[in-house]
Structure 1
Amino acid sequence: MVDRFLQNLDNVTIIDATGHILGRLASVVAKRLLNGEKIIIVNAEKAIISGKREAVFERYKQKRDIGSHRGPFFPRMPHLIVKRTVRGMLPYKQEKGKKALKNLRVYIGVPKELEGRKFEEIPEAKREVRYYVTLEELSRWLGAKF
C-alpha cells in the first residue's frame, strides 16, 4: 500500500532527524505544522534524547508503566515516540491540532520514495551534548522489535 502523502512531494518538507535533540526538533516541527506545512521526518531512530543513560531509561520506563490495560498507552517504537512527542506540543484535541497532526509523517530509516532527495536539518535542534541516548537504543530497551 502506497501512502498518498508520498505521492505528491511538491510542497513537503523532509527533515532528517539524525543527531537532532528530540524535544527541540519536536517543538520546531509542531510550530511549522500549526502554520500549515506538511512535514516528513526520516531516520527517527537516530534522534537523540539528552541526559544520562540510566535517567533517560528510568523516565521512559515510568511513562510506559503508568498505563493499565485501558491506557494511556506509551509507544515503544522510535517513529511513534517522535510522533507522540510532537503531539504533546500541539493542541491535538482541537480541530487545528488534529489537522496539523495529519500533516506529519515519521519513518524509521528512509523510505524508497524519498531516497536521493535533499533532507533539511534544523540547526536549533542540533547541539553538542555530552550525555545522550538514541531513540533506537531506548526503543530496544523498552522492548521494541524493528
Structure 2
Amino acid sequence: MKTFMQKKEEVQREWFLVDATGKTLGRLASEIAKILMGKHKPTYTPHVDGGDFVVVINADKIHVTGRKLEKKIYYKHTLYPGGLKETKLKDMLKEKPEEVIRLAVKGMLPKNKLRDRRMKRLKVYAGSEHPHGAQNPKPLEL
C-alpha cells in the first residue's frame, strides 16, 4: 500500500463560518489553525497547503481566562530607536478586536513558507456582518 500524497492541483477548499461569541481565545485559535492547515481532512499532507477558508464573526465578543486582559501585552517595533510599543489586551480588544484573533491564530500556525498563504484565508470581523455570503460558508461549531 502506497502512502497518499496530495498534490496542490487536487485541493478542494470549503468556506467555514465561526461565531466567536463567548469562545475562549486560545481554544478558538487552535481550532481555526487546524482548519487553515487542513488537518481536519483525511487528505492532509504537511507540505501542501490544503486547508479551507475560515470567516470569524463577533470577534469583539471573545472571552479570555484569568487576568489576561490586564497582564497580556502585545509588542511591536517602529524600527526607529526607542520605538518599542506596548498594547494591553484590553486596549487591543477595544481598538482592533480582529487583530487579537489574527495574532493568536498566526502564533499557532507552523513557522514556515506556507504560513502567510494560510493567513490570507482567515477573514475576521468584529461584528456579525461579513461580505462572504456568496461563498455560502458552512456554520462550524467549535
TM range (shorter): 0.5 to 0.7
Structure 1 partner of 2:23: 20
Q: Which among 103, 116, 121 is matched to residue 121 of structure 2?
A: 103
Which one has the largest radius of gyration?
A: 2
Cα distance, 1:121 vs. partner? 2.1
More strand by share: 2
* Alpha carbons 1:17, 1:121 under 8 Å: kept: no
RMSD of the TM alignment (CA)? Answer: 2.7
Closer/same/farther in 2, CA of residues 112 and 99 from structure 1, 3 Å limit: closer
**Gap runs ≥5 in structure 1:** 1-9, 123-146
Greater percentage in helix:
1
Equivalence map 1:7-86=2 (5 Å)? 11-35=14-38, 36-51=51-66, 55-60=67-72, 63-64=73-74, 66-70=75-79, 71=84, 76=92, 77-86=96-105
Query: Which residue identity lines up with residue 14 of structure 1 in the other structure?
Result: L
**How many residue pairs align between the two structures?**
106
Aligned to 1:119: 139
Percent of residue pairs bearing the same amino acid type: 30
1:84, distance to aligned residue in structure 2 (A): 0.4
- Whole-Å separation in 1 of the counterparts to 2:25 and 2:77: 26
Match of 1:105, SS?
strand
Structure 2 regions of 5+ residues with no counterpart?
Answer: 1-12, 39-50
TM, length-normalised to structure 2: 0.63
- Aligned partner of 1:138 in structure 2 is none
